[in-house]
Amino acid sequence: MELSERQQRIVEIVKENEPITSEQIAALLKVTRATLRPDLAILTMSGILDARPKVGYLYAGNTGINIISEHIKQTRVSDIKSIPVIVDEQTSLYDGIVALFLEDVGSIYVVSKGYLTGVVSRKDFLKSIMGGMEIHKVPVGLIMTRMPNIVLTYPHETALEAAIKIIEHEVDSLPVVEKEMIGEKECFKVVGKISKTNIARLFVELGKQ
């Protein structure tokens, strides 16, 4: 994985000043902690840095955390994906809300003719209800976030790559898709999902090992 210029600078700062807190790193780089959060998450998950509560960040070097890092890099999205909740664009808001809560998920994926066209979150449903929409008549296609404004992941990608996308785009889950060409148009069939829960479960399993 190629590090950005700022990520390389963070590693240098940690090497020179470990242990060092995120506040101290932010002060040295003259940026906010919020700006650093994705970089620190990536460096920690990739095993380059080690984050210790009430201590700060340390350079991991060749410690045991790199073993976990290698497992994460070798684990594919197809190995840890879960079953997605999928509805058609014409499904009513009411039926979409029922599916969301029956399956206890944060978002559902919307398809048309079997291919991904959008995603609807709990927040989207809440806004529609508060806005007074007729939930028995309005289709989910009217309130969904549409393609191509959806972050995707693929079965061959690593768990690390999926986790980085979740962090960088600040989403709860990603649809796992397989690309198909229909004429000259790219279409995506949903074959699973990767959520923060999938990533957390992977960490727990590796920790137990």
What is the per-residue pLDDT across 71-122, written as a single tens digit (0 to 9) for each? Answer: 777 899 999 999 999 999 999 999 999 999 999 999 999 999 999 999 999 9
User: What CATH class is the domain 78-208?
Assistant: alpha beta
Q: Which pLDDT value is given to residue 66?
A: 56
Query: What does pTM read for this prediction?
Result: 0.68
What residue ranges do the domains of the chain occupy?
A: 5-74, 78-208
Burial of 131-154, coded b for 16+ CB within 10 Å and e otherwise, reads: eeeeeeebbbbebbeebeebbbbb
Q: In angstroms, how far is CA 103 from the centroid of its own chain?
A: 19
* Contact call for residues 12 and 44 (beta carbons, < 8 A): no
Residue that is written with structure tokens 């995707």 in the block: 152
Q: SS3 of 63, please?
A: coil
- Give residue 35's identity as a one-letter amino acid code: T
Fold observed for domain 5-74: Arc Repressor Mutant, subunit A (1.10.10)
- What is the arithmetic mean of pLDDT over 146-162? 94
